Chain A
Amino acid sequence: MLLKQSGYRKDKKIIPFLFTSSMWCGGALIFLIFLGLIFELFWQGKQAFSVFGFHFITSTDWNPGEQQFSAGAALIGTLVSSCIGVVLALPLSFGCAYCLNELMPQRFSKYITATIQLLAAIPSIILGMWGFFILVPLMSQYVQPFLQNLFGNVPYIELLFSGGTYGIGILTAGLILAIMITPFITAIMQESFSNTPVMLKESAYSLGATRWEVMHQVIVPWVQKGVVGGVVLGWGRALGETMAVTFVIGNAHHASWSLFMPSNTIASLIALEFSESAVGSLKMSSLMALGAVLMVISFVVLFCSQLLLKQVLKSR
C-alpha cells in the first residue's frame, strides 16, 4: 500500500518536471539561437567594422575593385523604401480591415478575407516579376510623369520627384513592398477589429453617434495596439524583403533625394553580392556587417514601436 502510493507520487513529479524542463529548453534555445546569430554577424563583420570604422555607416562608396565597402546608400534605400511601403500600406489595410469587419455583409467578406490571405502567400519573386513587367512600365509612362507635373514647381518637394522617369527606383520598390505587407497588416487589424466589444459600439450608436464618430472614438482607441503590432510586423517584413525589391529598385549604390532614382537595399545587396564574395575576404565581411546593421535596424524599429505603444497605453 505504502509502496504503491510512493510510486504514484513519483510519477506525478516526474512528468511535470520533464514537461516544464523541456519547455524551458525550447524557450532558452530560441534565445541562444538569437544570441548566436547576432554574435556570428558581428564576429564575421568585425573585419569590415575595424577597417572602415564609423565610415561604414556614413559613407556611400561601394567599389569592389578598390575594396571599398559601406552601408550608407543601402541603409538609406532600406529605410526609405520600407517607410514608403508602410505609409502606403497603412491606410490601405486599415480601410480594408474596417470595410471587411464593419461595412461588408459577412457572406462577401469571408471571400475577400480568403483572397487577402492568398495574397500573403504569393512568393515574393512572383511579385517582383509582376512589378518588373507590369508596374515598372505603368510607373514610367503614367505615374512618374504625373507626379513630376504635379510637384515639378514646388520648391524642395520637386527634389523628391526629379530625374528620369524610368519606372525603376525607390518609389516602385516601396509600392511593391506596400502590396506585399498589406495582407499582413490587414489580417492583424481585422483580428483586433473583431475583438472590439459589440456592446461598446452598440452603446455609441444608441447614443446617436455617427459611423465616423464610432470609428474615431470607439474602435480606433480599442484597436491601437493591434494597428501598431501590424505595422511593426509589416515593417519588419519590408526591411528584410529581398527578391521583389531586387527586381524593381535598380541596384545602384547611390543615395539621392529623388524617389525616382535607382537605389539599393541591404537585403538585396547581400543577395546580389554573396555569390561573388570569397570566404574570409573583406567583401564577405562587409556583407556580414551589412547583415548586422540590418538586424540592428529591425531591433530599433521593434523597440521604438514598443515604446510608442507604452506611451499610447499610458496616455489613455
Chain B
Amino acid sequence: MSFFQNKNLRVVSVLGLSFAFFAAVLPNVKAQDVVTITGVGSSFAAPLYQNWAASAVKDINIKVNYQPLGSSAGKNQIIAKTVNFGALDMPTSIEQLTQENLVQFPTAIGGVAVVVNVPGVKEGQLRLTGDIIADIYAGKITKWNDPRIVAINSGVTLPATGIAAVYRADGSGTTQVFTSYLSKESANWKKAYGSNTSIAWAVGMGGRGNGAVASMVKNIQGGIGYVEYAYALQNHLNTAQLKNVAGNFVAISEDSIKAAAKAADWIHAKNYSVDLIDTKGADSWPIVSTTYVLVHAENKTSQEVTKFFRWGFEHGDAIATQLHYIPLPVVVKEKIEKTWEYAGVAGKEAKAK
C-alpha cells in the first residue's frame, strides 16, 4: 500500500499543489491599488506603449492593456467608450473632437520607409521621387528599368523585373500617411485616389499589418512597399532614398526624421495636427507622422491615462529611441501638459513623484 494509492490523499495533494501554484503565480491580492487602463488602436505605436507599460507599472501602479487593432479601431472604440484611450496615426478633425468631447495629444514621431526588393540594387542605393512612387502604385510604371527611374539612378543597374506594389490590406494610419504624401507629390494621384486609411488601389497586393507588408516585399522579387521605419530595420529591408522639398535625396534615418520633426510648426498647430509630410529643411525625410492618443475630456479614468503618458514623456525617451521612434520635442511636451490641465484630465498625483 503505497502512499499515493490512496485516492483521497492523491486528490488532496493535487488540490494543495495547485493552490500553492496559483498563490505563487497570481498577483498579490494586496496590490489592489494597481489601476488597469485599456487602449486600442495604432499598430505603429504598439511596441512603444507596450514597452512603456512594462516599465511604468513599477513606478506608478498603472497597468496598461493595449491592443493594436489599427487606427480606425482606436477611433471607433474611444467614441463608443469601450476603452480608456484610443491611439491613432492621424489627427482627428476639430469638429469631431468637440462633438465627441475628446482630447487629442501626440505621443511620438515616426517615419514611414519606402522599402524595395530589386535584384542587384544595394542597400539604400535606389533613389525615388514621390511622383514616381505614385505612378508605380497607379500602375503607370510597371518595370524597374523604366526610363524615369533610370534617369535619377545613374550608376545603378536596374533589371527589367516587374514591379510588385505591396500595400496594407487592412485600414491603417500608415496608409493614410503614405497616401497623403503621394497626394501632395502628385496631382494625378490626389484626383484619382486621394488619401485615406484604406483606398481603392489600382494595382498590387495587400498584406495585413506592417509585418506582412515587410515580409511580402522581402519575399517577392521586384517588390516595393511602405512600412514604419522600425519594421524596415527589424526586417533588414532595402530602403529607398526619397527626394525632399529642398531637392535633396535623403535616406531614412533617425536624424532625417528628427530634422523633419524640428522643421514643423508645433506651437501654432491646433490640436497638435501638424503636417509632417514634406517639411522644409535640407535633410528632412519627407514621410513623417505623429502618432496620437485620444481620451475623453473631464473624465476620471482619462487622468490615469495622462498619468501614464506623463511617465512616458518624463522617463520613456530612452525606450522610444531604442525602438526607433523619435521622442517629442520638449516644447511640445510642455504644451501637452497645459492641454491636459485645460481639459481637466491631468492626473495630479504622478507629479509629486
Task: State the A residues within 8 Å of B (CB).
Answer: 61-66, 68, 132-133, 136-137, 140, 164-169, 246-247, 250-253, 262, 272-273, 275-279
| Residues B169-227 near A (CB distance < 8 A) | 169-171, 194, 196-201, 204-208, 212, 215-216, 219-223
**A167 to B162, alpha carbons, bound, how many Å?**
13
**A277 to B162, alpha carbons, bound, how many Å?**
34
- Given A136-B219, A275-B69, the answer on whether A262 and B205 have CB atoms closer than 8 Å is yes
Segment of B51-59, B70-78, B239-247 engaged in the interface with chain A: B70-78
- Could you tell me if B170 and A273 are in contact, using CB atoms closer than 8 angstroms? yes
Say how far A187's CB is from chain B's closest CB, in angstroms: 31
Contacts A166-B223, A168-B220 known; list 4 others, CB within 8 Å. Answer: A63-B199, A64-B171, A272-B206, A277-B72
- Given A64-B171, A140-B220, the answer on whether A168 and B197 have CB atoms closer than 8 Å is no
**A238 to B80, alpha carbons, bound, how many Å?**
36
Give which listed residue, B80, B162, B204, contacts A252 with CB less than 8 A.
B204
Report if B164 contacts A (CB, 8 A). yes
- Could you tell me if A276 and B72 are in contact, using CB atoms closer than 8 angstroms? yes
Specify which chain A residues have a CB less than 8 angstroms from the CB of B79 in the assembled complex.
278
**A133 to B219, alpha carbons, bound, how many Å?**
7
- Could you tell me if A251 and B220 are in contact, using CB atoms closer than 8 angstroms? no
- Could you tell me if B198 and A276 are in contact, using CB atoms closer than 8 angstroms? yes
- Given A132-B215, A250-B205, A276-B70, the answer on whether A64 and B197 have CB atoms closer than 8 Å is yes
Main secondary structure of the interface of B (DSSP, over half): loop
- Could you tell me if B194 and A65 are in contact, using CB atoms closer than 8 angstroms? yes
Specify which chain B residues have a CB less than 8 angstroms from the CB of A63 in the assembled complex.
199-200
- Could you tell me if B205 and A252 are in contact, using CB atoms closer than 8 angstroms? yes
- Could you tell me if A246 and B208 are in contact, using CB atoms closer than 8 angstroms? yes
Specify which chain A residues have a CB less than 8 angstroms from the CB of B72 in the assembled complex.
276-278
**A63 to B223, alpha carbons, bound, how many Å?**
23
Q: What are 8 A-B pairs at a CB distance below 8 A?
A: A68-B200, A132-B215, A133-B219, A164-B162, A246-B208, A251-B206, A272-B206, A275-B70
Say how far A93's CB is from chain B's closest CB, in angstroms: 29
Specify which chain B residues have a CB less than 8 angstroms from the CB of A66 in the assembled complex.
200
Specify which chain A residues have a CB less than 8 angstroms from the CB of B222 in the assembled complex.
164, 166
Against A, the Cβ 8 Å flags (1 = close, 0 = not) of B108-120 are: 0000000000000
**A278 to B286, alpha carbons, bound, how many Å?**
32
- Could you tell me if A167 and B76 are in contact, using CB atoms closer than 8 angstroms? no
- Could you tell me if A253 and B200 are in contact, using CB atoms closer than 8 angstroms? yes
Give which listed residue, A167, A169, A272, A277, contacts B169 with CB less than 8 A.
A272
For B223, the closest partner residue in chain A by CB is A166
Specify which chain B residues have a CB less than 8 angstroms from the CB of A276 in the assembled complex.
69-70, 72-73, 170-171, 197-198
Say how far B263's CB is from chain A's closest CB, in angstroms: 29
- Could you tell me if A251 and B207 are in contact, using CB atoms closer than 8 angstroms? yes
- Could you tell me if A252 and B206 are in contact, using CB atoms closer than 8 angstroms? yes
- Could you tell me if A278 and B216 are in contact, using CB atoms closer than 8 angstroms? no
- Given A132-B219, A272-B169, the answer on whether A166 and B200 have CB atoms closer than 8 Å is no
- Of A165, A253, A275, which is in contact with the most chain B CB atoms at under 10 Å from its CB? A275
Specify which chain A residues have a CB less than 8 angstroms from the CB of B221 in the assembled complex.
140, 166
- Could you tell me if A279 and B200 are in contact, using CB atoms closer than 8 angstroms? no
**A113 to B80, alpha carbons, bound, how many Å?**
51
**A65 to B220, alpha carbons, bound, how many Å?**
28
Say how far B214's CB is from chain A's closest CB, in angstroms: 12
- Could you tell me if A273 and B171 are in contact, using CB atoms closer than 8 angstroms? yes
Specify which chain A residues have a CB less than 8 angstroms from the CB of B200 in the assembled complex.
61-63, 65-66, 68, 253
Say how far B2's CB is from chain A's closest CB, in angstroms: 36
- Could you tell me if B199 and A65 are in contact, using CB atoms closer than 8 angstroms? yes
Of all A-B residue pairs in the complex, the 3 with the closest CB atoms, nearest first, are A250-B205, A65-B196, A251-B206
**A64 to B200, alpha carbons, bound, how many Å?**
8
Give which listed residue, B70, B164, B198, B219, contacts A65 with CB less than 8 A.
B198
**A133 to B223, alpha carbons, bound, how many Å?**
15
- Given A62-B200, A65-B196, A137-B219, the answer on whether A279 and B205 have CB atoms closer than 8 Å is no
**A61 to B162, alpha carbons, bound, how many Å?**
25
